[in-house]
Amino acid sequence: MATRPKSQYQYGTIGSYTTASTETTTAGKTVILVADGTVKDPGAASDLVIGVALDTTVAGARCRVAHFGPIVPMLVGTGDSTRGTKQIVAADGVTDASTHDSDGTSNESIVGVAMQSGVATDMIGVMLMLESRGA
């Protein structure tokens, strides 16, 4: 058993958030967005995590979060984008991916997670991460 976990943040993206009302964050556990700038510990099997909490906090306290990738401005396309939702590429920008499909009937290439909500032609922050969802 490791006596002290290894960590390196030299090139990481770390954000600062407020812990949601009546919620907590736990150092070393993943977090999800609740509102702009607000996070909480997720339920089991959530695929909408935005990073890992670096602090254990209670409601209203500041929590540092290590993100999975850099956050960059991206153009929202037709279909709009919702904060905390995985994003796919549309012809005119990014848009929300469909809800997780456990039977694998839809294949989507995820390019990131929306860190803000926006409508077509808005620029929003998107945390880059490449993955496939579906079959």
pLDDT digits (tens, 9 = 90+) for 56-108: 999 999 999 999 999 999 999 999 999 999 999 999 999 999 876 555 556 78
- Tracing tokens 């390019």 back to the chain, one arrives at 111
Summarize pLDDT for 98-109 with one digit per residue, the tens.
876 555 556 788
Average confidence (pLDDT) over 9-22: 90
Encoding tokens for residue 31? 């977090």
Q: What is the pTM of this model?
A: 0.85
Instruction: State the pairing for strand pair 62-67/57-58.
Output: unpaired
Burial of 52 (C-beta count, 10 Å sphere; 0-12/13-18/19+): middle
Q: What is the chain's mean pLDDT, rounded? A: 88
The C-alpha atoms of residue 102 and residue 95 are separated, in whole angstroms, by: 20
The C-alpha atoms of residue 50 and residue 132 are separated, in whole angstroms, by: 16
Domain boundaries along the sequence of the chain: 14-67, 71-133
Q: Assess whether pLDDT exceeds 60 at residue 4.
A: yes
Q: Are 80 and 121 in contact (CB under 8 A)?
A: no
